């Protein structure tokens, strides 16, 4: 991020604080624009990563034809409609067809796509497509179970409701 972009971002955070009735010059908020910028750089780091590069670095020839299942991959993302958190678990299964991928690469791919502004349906599809494109398995399945803060903190206010895709 250039110095100009850094200043623009931090000024936008100050403007948001003013808009909601806060004073960005009060002691507890002086460093908040900088902290928010750094947090966003991490939270949205998925835009800077290529899932195909991650997967291609750990492909191995294999005669295994049994399903590979990686369950309970915890993730967080951000609802693209309200910029509120999505928190959940991803389960990924694939049936190899001559190739397998290093197990740690699947959660890394989940993080690449989750660390973008998203909707859950799209996240599910992106993970499946990336695995299909890189590994070319006989089949792939991705199931996501998640809580959406946009449903819990606003609107219908349904605490602990989950969405499965």
CATH of the domain at 98: 3.30.1130.10
Catalytic residue among 8, 65, 74, 81, which? 81
Catalytic residue among 22, 82, 91, 122, which? 82
Q: 58 and 23 in one domain?
A: no
Phi then psi for residue 25, to 5 deg, are -95, 0
As a whole number of Å, the CA-based R_g of the chain is 19
Q: 74 and 147 in one domain?
A: yes
Contacts of 147 (CB under 8 A, 6+ apart): 86, 87, 88, 160, 161, 162, 163
Q: 11 and 58 in one domain?
A: no
Q: How many domains does the chain have?
A: 2
pLDDT of residue 1: 80
79 catalytically annotated: yes
Q: 62 and 35 in one domain?
A: no
10 catalytically annotated: no
Domain of residue 58: give its range. Answer: 51-164
91 catalytically annotated: no
Q: 74 and 26 in one domain?
A: no
- pLDDT by residue, tens only, the chain of 165 residues: 899 999 999 999 999 999 999 999 999 999 999 999 999 999 999 999 999 999 999 999 999 999 999 999 999 999 999 999 999 999 999 999 999 999 999 999 999 999 999 999 999 999 999 999 999 999 999 999 999 999 999 999 999 999 999
Q: 93 and 155 in one domain?
A: yes
Q: What is the largest CA-CA distance in the chain?
A: 63
Q: Residues 20-39: pLDDT tens digits?
A: 999 999 999 999 999 999 99
Q: 22 and 55 in one domain?
A: no
Q: 145 and 111 in one domain?
A: yes
Q: 25 and 78 in one domain?
A: no
Q: 115 and 86 in one domain?
A: yes
């Amino acid at each position: 991020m250039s110095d100009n972009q850094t200043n623009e971002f931090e000024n936008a955070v100050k403007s948001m604080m003013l808009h909601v009735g806060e004073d960005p010059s009060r002691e507890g908020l002086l460093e908040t624009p900088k902290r928010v910028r750094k947090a966003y750089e991490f939270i949205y780091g998925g835009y800077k990563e290529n899932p195909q590069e991650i997967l291609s670095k750990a492909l191995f020839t294999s005669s295994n034809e049994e399903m590979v299942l990686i369950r309970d991959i915890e993730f967080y993302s951000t609802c693209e409609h309200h910029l509120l958190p999505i928190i959940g678990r991803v389960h990924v299964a694939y049936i190899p067809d001559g190739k397998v991928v290093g197990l740690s690469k699947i959660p890394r791919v989940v993080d690449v796509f989750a660390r973008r502004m998203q909707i859950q349906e799209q996240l599910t599809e992106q993970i499946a497509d990336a695995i299909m494109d890189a590994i070319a398995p006989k089949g792939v399945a991705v199931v996501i179970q998640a809580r959406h803060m946009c449903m819990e903190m606003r609107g219908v206010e349904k605490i602990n409701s989950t969405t499965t895709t």
